[in-house]
Amino acid sequence: MYNGTVKVKVRFFASLKDAVGTGEMDVNIAEDNATARTVFDRLQEQFPALKRYEPIVLVAVNHEYARWETPLTPDAEVVFFPPVSGGLR
């Protein structure tokens, strides 16, 4: 857990990238004990189009599947992306 402001790099893929309008941005979180959830909540305020993705979005931190409560270290890379389709067999 880190106290104070953390700067993280955020990336988006597929339809989330379209919803936000960019694939990558830096986000400063001035909040103690920031998690992946903190970042997504902040982004939803800025990009309301993200709201409908909340029930299904997946998150990776530093290129590993992560959970909402995964704590963020300074300069972490946080990636939000949709589930993969599975396809028809």
Stretch that binds another protein, among 28-36, 38-46, 48-56, 68-76 (CB under 8 A): 48-56
| C-alpha to C-alpha distance for 19 and 1, rounded to whole angstroms | 30
Total chain residues near another protein (CB under 8 A):
23
Q: Are 17 and 82 in contact (CB under 8 A)?
A: no
Q: Are 78 and 20 in contact (CB under 8 A)?
A: no
Is 60 a binder of another protein (CB under 8 A)? yes
Is 5 a binder of another protein (CB under 8 A)? no
Please identify, using beta-carbon distances, which residue of 5 and 14 lies nearer to another protein.
14
Is 55 a binder of another protein (CB under 8 A)? yes
Tokens, residue 31: 């909040």
